[in-house]
Amino acid sequence: MIVALAGGVGGAKLVDGLARLLAPGELLAVINTGDDFEHLGLQVCPDLDTVMYTLAGLANTETGWGQAGESWHFMQALEGLGGETWFRLGDRDLATHVRRTQLLADGRTLSQVTRLLCDALGVRHRVVPMSDDSVRTVVDTSEGALPFQHYFVQRRCEPVLKGLHFGGAANAQPQSQWLGALRDPGLRAIVICPSNPYLSIEPMLAIPGIREAIQHAPAPVVAVSPIVGGQAIKGPAAKIMRELGYEPSALEVARHYAGLVDALVIDTADAGAAQAIAALGVHPLVTGTVMSTDAHREQLARDLLAFVDGRPRSRP
């Protein structure tokens, strides 16, 4: 079993690459829910939806969120009624939020709802939230504390980021399949996908018991750097790293994950950092990590699986 931790568009692409190589029973995609929020009375789960739409072949690859080929009648009509339209909800995407909100209101867990939505969209691989409990990322900025989507979308990440906290994480239980997989002797590897370490992966690690479960897992842990050549492929990772006082580089990502991972996959553009990364006790795996095509997604997944199968865990 491969357990892949992901959030956002970069993570979804690697999950897709892994899903193209692995049978549904061989992959568990665990998704960040810190970005979730209630909006217009709807429960919105952006990272779960990005992965689900990506695996269903419905994702809008230009924006990295929502569905391709959307219509926007709901947004236009809502604007005419004076409603909030800063968070763009396409007509098909809206159906997902309405259906999820209804199923949750009927008492189902987020895991059960996600499975029902995946089944309806023909997604056979397992996609689960990091927890069925509420965890909400709050961004401490120069303008005070902002709920994640207000920072990320409404303010377009402009306020200077001072810090992050994950409301509810301390009382959240890890999703049951995830915890079980981390303890399973048949675990093949844990993959930390090229998502924003601070925004998408940290909320998962903030859930009690998760860091320890990963550290004691009977399999190699490999992360993929979301920073290539000092830049994030998409999203505010580089800006956030600078505002947190870190230089946006693959080496800094290695420092961030050192102690938790056996290896870090870096792009050929960052091959010069390999020695310094190795000096941290993190094995550098240099390959192409920019996934512009489906073939790139599959190739990165293939390189990663070849690496993990050839290398037992080496962390202390």
CB of 112 to ligand FO1, least distance (A): 19
Closest separation between CB of residue 268 and ligand FO1, Å? 26
Is residue 289 involved in binding ligand FO1 (CB under 6 A)?
Answer: no
Q: Which residues pair with 4 in a beta bridge?
A: 29, 191
**Interface characters, 42-81, with ligand FO1 (x: CB under 6 A):** --x-xx-xx--------------xx---------------
Rounded CA separation 289/276 (Å): 19
Q: Which residue shows structure tokens 């924006």? A: 63
Closest CA to 177 of 27, 7, 13: 27
Structure tokens given for 64: 């990295």
Establish if 303 lies at the interface with ligand FO1 (CB under 6 A).
no
Question: For strand 221-224 and strand 27-31, is the pairing parallel, antiparallel, or unpaired?
Answer: unpaired
Site string for ligand FO1, 254-283 (x = CB under 6 A): ------------------------------
Q: Which segment (86-94, 116-124, 173-181, 270-278) binds ligand FO1 by CB under 6 A?
A: 86-94
- Figure out which of the listed residues 2, 6, 8, 232 binds ligand FO1, where binding follows CB under 6 A: 8
Buried b (16+ CB within 10 A) or exposed e, 279-295: ebebbbbbbebbbeeee
Q: Which of residues 14-43 bind ligand FO1 (CB under 6 A)?
A: 35
Residue type at 24 in one-letter notation: P
**Cβ closer to ligand FO1: 66 or 226?**
66
Indicate the residue among 220 and 235 with the shorter CB distance to ligand FO1.
235
Residue (222 or 232) nearer to ligand FO1, CB: 232
44: helix, strand or coil = strand
Alpha carbon of 95 to those of 115, 119, 132, 156, 292: distances in Å?
Answer: 16, 15, 21, 25, 29
Q: Assess contact for 153 and 139: CB atoms under 8 A.
A: no
Shorter beta-carbon distance to ligand FO1: residue 1 or 45: 45
Segment near ligand FO1 (CB under 6 A); pick from 16-24, 83-91, 123-131, 218-226: 83-91
Q: Which residue among 88, 92, 239, 255 contacts ligand FO1 (CB under 6 A)? A: 88
Strands, E assignment, the chain: 2-6, 27-31, 37-39, 42-44, 126-129, 136-141, 144-147, 161-167, 189-192, 221-224, 227-228, 231-232, 263-267, 283-287
153 in contact with ligand FO1 (CB under 6 A):
yes
Would you tell me which residues interact with ligand FO1 (CB under 6 A)? Answer: 7-8, 35, 44, 46-47, 49-50, 65-66, 87-89, 93, 149, 152-153
